[in-house]
Amino acid sequence: MTAGAQTRQRLLRSAGELFRSQGYAATGLNQVVAESGSPKGVLYFHFPGGKAQLAAEAVALTGGDLGARMAAAMAGATDIRGAMTALGDLFAADLEASGYLDGCPVASVALDGGDRSQPVLSACAAVYDAWLAGLANYLNRQGVPDGEAAELAALIFTSLQGALLLARVQRDVAVLRAVTRQLGDLANRAALRQARLK
């Protein structure tokens, strides 16, 4: 990687972390530059579209990373229930390690009032679509048929998102365990039902 590409990557990582922990509107570009250890002035060189471009690319990067961690967590589990538990554990670990600051890196940009420009929203939607597809794909491989897998993936995704929010507000990860246990039972039943039909 060239020095320029490395600087660009550092700016994106710093932006992604700051947006995640303190929100989009509250994060200033000067802080991103300072955190990344880059010289002033490089930001607009690498991101002529300013904060919106930085946010769109940072969401894609950090959202992609988290999606890969979710996929690895599920792949490492021995069954569907274990996979749901592993997803809850992953999010709980991020929350606890950050003093309940690090929730969903996409939500902290998408829900924030600072920017609703189309490139930012599109980047957020693309990450969520990929997560949904990853969940549906996992369920499908466990025997849940296509249509049902997509529906169940939506329920799992939305419930995890809401649990992340509630856990942050309550400063307690218990709700993550409570919903992933129920989601695990649900997904397991869907897979078993299908196995019986065969």
**CA-based angle 72:77:81, to the nearest 5?**
120
- The tokens for 151 are 């529906």
The amino acid sitting at 6 is: Q
At 24, give phi and psi (nearest 5°): -75, -50
**33 vs 175 by CB, closer to a copy of itself:** 175
Q: How far are the Cα atoms of 61, 139, 150, 164, 183 from residue 71, in angstroms, in the given order?
A: 15, 11, 16, 18, 16
Q: How far apart are the first and last CA of the chain?
A: 51
Q: Does 160 bind a copy of itself (CB under 8 A)?
A: yes
Q: How far is the CB of 8 from a copy of itself (least distance, A)?
A: 24
**27 vs 38 by CB, closer to a copy of itself:** 27
Residue of 45, 162, 193, 195 interacting with a copy of itself (CB under 8 A): 162
Is the torsion defined by CA of 58, 59, 62, 68 positive or negative?
negative
Query: Which of the 8 DSSP states describes residue 40?
Result: T
Q: Does 168 bind a copy of itself (CB under 8 A)?
A: yes
**How far is it, in rounded angstroms, from Cα 15 to Cα 29?**
8
Q: How far is the CB of 82 from a copy of itself (least distance, A)?
A: 19
Interface mask (CB under 8 A) for a copy of itself, residues 21-60, using x and -? xxxxxxx---------------------------------
Q: Does 186 bind a copy of itself (CB under 8 A)?
A: yes
Stretch that binds a copy of itself, among 3-11, 41-49, 135-143, 176-184 (CB under 8 A): 176-184
Q: How far is the CB of 25 from a copy of itself (least distance, A)?
A: 4
Residues 79, 188 contacting (CB under 8 angstroms): yes
Q: Which residues bind a copy of itself (CB under 8 A)?
A: 21-27, 101, 103, 106-108, 110-114, 116, 121, 124-125, 128, 151-152, 154-155, 157-163, 165-166, 168-171, 175, 178-179, 182-183, 186
